[in-house]
């Protein structure tokens, strides 16, 4: 790609990111072209379909989420790695309005431009789950499909204004249900220290290194219980 073509590509992607952040995955291709001050044909020359555009927007995030799973697998106990990665995944699918539907559809469609990246994320999460199950710290009656579905469902749920204030509480409920131990005060405290899930995030949010979330039963209980969610 020539230098001027690369410059145009980066410009279009930056404008598309802003428009999609504002309007979600229903953002108009025509509006993106107008905001970028180019013709619609120019936009389609770089991104022939809407999925091609979203593949370009989300690829870095999805690759980072896959890489994060590998890092956690080698540096954290299996249950901690699973819970920490699950939180990263929920935050990602909450990054753009409509991403959950887009990923759910792409995951089942090998012809989708997003299929390969979604499949890699799915495989990475399934590997973390299997590792925790082998250790006996994750329940044995769920699989990678269930993990992907729970991540997508929670990401969609906390994007609803009525549930957003309970995002961290709902995360703790689901995370503790995936494991074989009851939730501990340590999980509650660690989750409260982490960045909230239910907020609008830039597409590079999953690339930030977040503080690992300790899994239930890993550390002694504190003498005082954490305050209840309001």
pLDDT at position 45 over 50: yes
pLDDT at position 175 over 70: yes
* Residue 80 · residue 218 · CB < 8 Å: yes
pLDDT averaged over every residue in the chain: 79
User: Region 10-15: what's the mean pLDDT?
Assistant: 91
pLDDT at 187: 54
pLDDT at 209: 36
154-158 long-range Cβ contacts below 8 angstroms, 24+ apart: 154/90, 154/197, 155/89, 155/90, 155/91, 155/92, 155/93, 155/94, 155/99, 155/100, 155/197, 156/93, 156/100, 158/90, 158/94, 158/197, 158/198
pLDDT at 109: 86
Strand partners, 138: 179
pLDDT at 71: 93
pLDDT category at 188 given cuts 50, 70, 90 is: low
Backbone Cα Rg of the chain: 19
pLDDT at 133: 96
Give φ, ψ of 179 to 5 degrees: -100, 170
pLDDT at 15: 92
**CATH of the structural domain 50-207, one choice from 3.10.129.10, 3.40.50.720, 1.10.540.10, 1.10.357.10:** 1.10.357.10
CA–CA separation, 33 and 209 (whole Å): 33
pLDDT at position 210 over 80: no
| Residue of higher predicted confidence among 211 and 157 | 157
CA–CA separation, 213 and 210 (whole Å): 9
pLDDT at position 1 over 70: no
* Residue 47 · residue 173 · CB < 8 Å: no
Cα 114 from chain centre: 14
| Residue of higher predicted confidence among 194 and 155 | 155
pTM for the whole thing? 0.72
Cα 5 from chain centre: 31
Report domain 1-48's class.
Answer: mainly alpha
DSSP secondary structure code for residue 182 in this structure: -
Contact partners, residue 129, CB within 8 Å, separation at least 6: 82, 138, 142, 143, 144, 147, 178
User: Region 67-93: what's the mean pLDDT?
Assistant: 92
User: Region 108-134: what's the mean pLDDT?
Assistant: 91
User: Region 197-211: what's the mean pLDDT?
Assistant: 42
Backbone dihedral region for residue 37 (phi beyond 0: left; psi -120 to 50: alpha; all else: beta): left
Three-point CA angle 107, 109, 111, nearest 5°: 125
CA–CA separation, 61 and 39 (whole Å): 28
Domain boundaries, the chain: 1-48, 50-207
pLDDT at 26: 83
pLDDT at 31: 93
pLDDT category at 212 given cuts 50, 70, 90 is: very low
Percentage of residues in the chain with pLDDT exceeding 90?
41
DSSP assignment of 32-86 equals HHHHHTS-HHHHHHH-SSHHHHHHHHHHHHHHHHHHHHHHHHHHS-HHHHHHHHH
User: Region 25-32: what's the mean pLDDT?
Assistant: 88
């Amino acid at each position: 790609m020539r230098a001027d073509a690369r410059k145009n590509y980066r410009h279009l992607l930056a404008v598309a990111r802003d428009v999609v952040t504002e309007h979600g995955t229903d953002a108009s291709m025509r509006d993106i072209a107008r905001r970028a001050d180019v013709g619609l044909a120019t936009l389609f020359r770089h991104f022939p379909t809407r999925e091609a555009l979203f593949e370009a927007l989300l690829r870095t995030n999805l690759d980072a989420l896959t890489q994060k799973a590998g890092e956690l697998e080698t540096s954290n106990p299996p249950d901690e790695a699973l819970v920490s990665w699950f939180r990263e995944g929920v935050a990602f699918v909450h990054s753009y309005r409509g991403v959950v539907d887009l990923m759910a559809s792409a995951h089942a469609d090998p012809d989708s431009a997003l299929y390969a990246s979604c499949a890699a994320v799915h495989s990475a999460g399934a590997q973390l789950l299997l590792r925790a199950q082998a250790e006996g710290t994750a329940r044995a009656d769920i699989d990678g499909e269930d993990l992907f579905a729970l991540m997508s469902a929670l990401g969609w749920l906390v994007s609803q204004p009525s549930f957003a204030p309970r995002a961290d509480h709902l995360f703790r409920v689901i995370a503790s249900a995936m494991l074989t131990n009851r939730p501990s005060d340590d999980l509650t405290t660690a989750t409260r220290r982490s960045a909230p899930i239910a907020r609008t995030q830039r597409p590079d949010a999953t690339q930030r290194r977040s503080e690992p979330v300790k899994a239930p039963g890993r550390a002694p209980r504190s003498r005082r219980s954490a305050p209840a969610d309001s």
